[in-house]
Structure 1
């Protein structure tokens, strides 16, 4: 059994995404434990709350996964990125010698375990269509999404149930997608590989998705599980949605296919099988040494001190040279 240290600094039950909730996938044992000092692989998911930590591992087997898409204020400096042997990301501006563009397997938000999703029957569909969208309006993308959802609600009225923080709060996302035949998922970013739990939560609840985002989603998921909409074209989107939800035979005809696609995706796109697919291409027997991974802020301080030291050194050299020049002219 290979030991995989997972640095995941979110208060989130990610281990439920493994069989029996024990963090094992095939030959790989995942451990979320800051006290673990030796491992075969080290996965660092996001720089969030990252602290300085020293672990015995081979640097080539240390993977960094940025949690954000392209529209982020976070700018990773080269001295932070060079700490890692491999980076898995959607962010095209990141520069690294071993960079792989891929979706980043965001943990699902629905309150179900791997075992429940795999073993239980598809949920009963008693409602028509929902959309989950918070009232956040921090970015242009947020504002555009919110305005689109408001227009949809005005058009569809009681046919469409709208949920989200600050709009219609809920405790478990399962409760606002699983009872519905259809749901609308709108990503914050519209870029290759950026497909998040917004889509997968619907799929894993056996809900057919009207989707905006990730232009190459078909690279990862069977296209029969969703229908694209364009939030920049309201009339076209409405026509697409109405054409499907008004077909009383559509959901029943696609339901068996949805179940198959769901099961395949849980065993492929779920965080653990997804990361294992990369670990299987790497060598766990490489020689290990103690390696310290630092947070961006710690490295920035170190970098600033080095720069300050160099500047002071140059100033001292200049002063020394000037002093010698002045004395030599007397």
Structure 2
């Protein structure tokens, strides 16, 4: 087995449930999650470290997964320089080897891999669930709230809204499983950023009505969701209305939902996604040495670069300078 130290931003999260048999193994990789190991073949940090950590590992096999999109948070260049590889969908990172890829956020529905992989379609009794929140910190938050209000005005009780500050719930499964459709609204729309929201809907056998990752078809089949643009509110509401007007639409989508669920579980979810990266980039021809990783934000800011006076003729083409010199010399 290839031993992988995995340091996450959520050490109390039930990571093992995302692997067959709760074994924290995927293919040839054995993961040691949020625990100290003296030696490993590779080291992966998901989103952040809570403190400086050390182990013995080949520096060429040290990875970072950035879990947030462009508008949220930042990573110091010196922090990123600690890693040989950075997995991210962000556009604001400068790193010698950035792997542009969705991040495989862990699912939130309270089921294990084994339960989900063997689960048949489940009975449905309600129309549409929306899980949102009252957050209004970013432009994405505010756009999502505005769209939820428009949904309620158009469809009334056929749309049930859940979320922190709106209508609290204890188990995410309970506010997805009874519904045929789930409106899934990310806080950020852009390429290669996909959270747990879309997979959670599929895992609960909901047909997702989706706004977020603009190249989601790179990751999941095109027929596994209905894509909407919440900035074009009327067109989005009309598309949702057409789904609700056709009672057979959900049943026709079941095959696509089932196929997308299995693909996600075996290819896209956190450990499958990470294992694909490790298979391509972990090197076996390198030597383990003591490696220490420091926390983002612990590095001194780079000193400002003093502006340098522009050299004479700096903006003049070199060919013109040569001609001038020849003229001066006669």
Pairwise same-fold verdict (TM > 0.5): yes
Task: Give CA-to-partner distance per residue, 1:124-169, whole Å, 9 cap, x none.
Answer: 1111111000011111211111111011112111111100001111
Aligned equivalent of 1:287: 287
SS of residue matched to 1:292: strand
Conserved 8 A contact 2:8-2:34: no
Aligned equivalent of 1:164: 163
Question: Post-superposition shift, 1:187?
Answer: 0.7
Conserved 8 A contact 1:61-1:284: no
Aligned equivalent of 1:184: 183
SS of residue matched to 2:268: coil
Q: Equivalents in 2 of 1:296, 1:70: separation in Å?
A: 16
Q: Equivalents in 1 of 2:196, 2:230: separation in Å?
A: 19
Aligned equivalent of 2:18: 17
Superposition map of 1:120-131 within 5 A? 120-131=119-130
CA RMSD across the alignment = 1.3
Point out where structure 2 has 5 or more consecutive residues left out of the alignment. 304-330
Q: Report whether the alignment pairs 1:137 with 2:136.
A: yes
Q: Equivalents in 2 of 1:34, 1:254: separation in Å?
A: 42
Conserved 8 A contact 2:76-2:299: no
Q: Equivalents in 1 of 2:74, 2:162: separation in Å?
A: 32
Superposition map of 1:139-154 within 5 A? 139-154=138-153
SS of residue matched to 1:4: strand
Q: Equivalents in 1 of 2:164, 2:158: separation in Å?
A: 20
Aligned equivalent of 2:201: 202
Q: Equivalents in 1 of 2:21, 2:164: separation in Å?
A: 31
SS of residue matched to 2:134: coil
Question: Post-superposition shift, 1:285?
Answer: 4.2
SS of residue matched to 1:63: strand
SS of residue matched to 1:202: helix
Question: Post-superposition shift, 1:297?
Answer: 3.0
Q: How many residue pairs were aligned?
A: 301
Runs of 4+ in 1 over 6 A off after TM superposition: none
Task: Give CA-to-partner distance per residue, 1:171-224, whole Å, 9 cap, x none.
Answer: 111111111110101111111011111111111111111111111000000011
Q: Equivalents in 2 of 1:33, 1:162: separation in Å?
A: 35
Aligned equivalent of 2:4: 4
SS of residue matched to 1:133: strand
Question: Post-superposition shift, 1:236?
Answer: 0.6
Q: Equivalents in 2 of 1:114, 1:124: separation in Å?
A: 20
Q: Equivalents in 1 of 2:264, 2:34: separation in Å?
A: 28
Normalised TM-score (structure 2): 0.88
Question: Post-superposition shift, 1:298?
Answer: 2.7
Q: Equivalents in 1 of 2:245, 2:114: separation in Å?
A: 34
Aligned equivalent of 1:318: none
Q: Equivalents in 2 of 1:184, 1:9: separation in Å?
A: 27
SS of residue matched to 1:103: coil
Question: Post-superposition shift, 1:62?
Answer: 0.6
Aligned equivalent of 1:88: 87
Conserved 8 A contact 2:2-2:30: yes
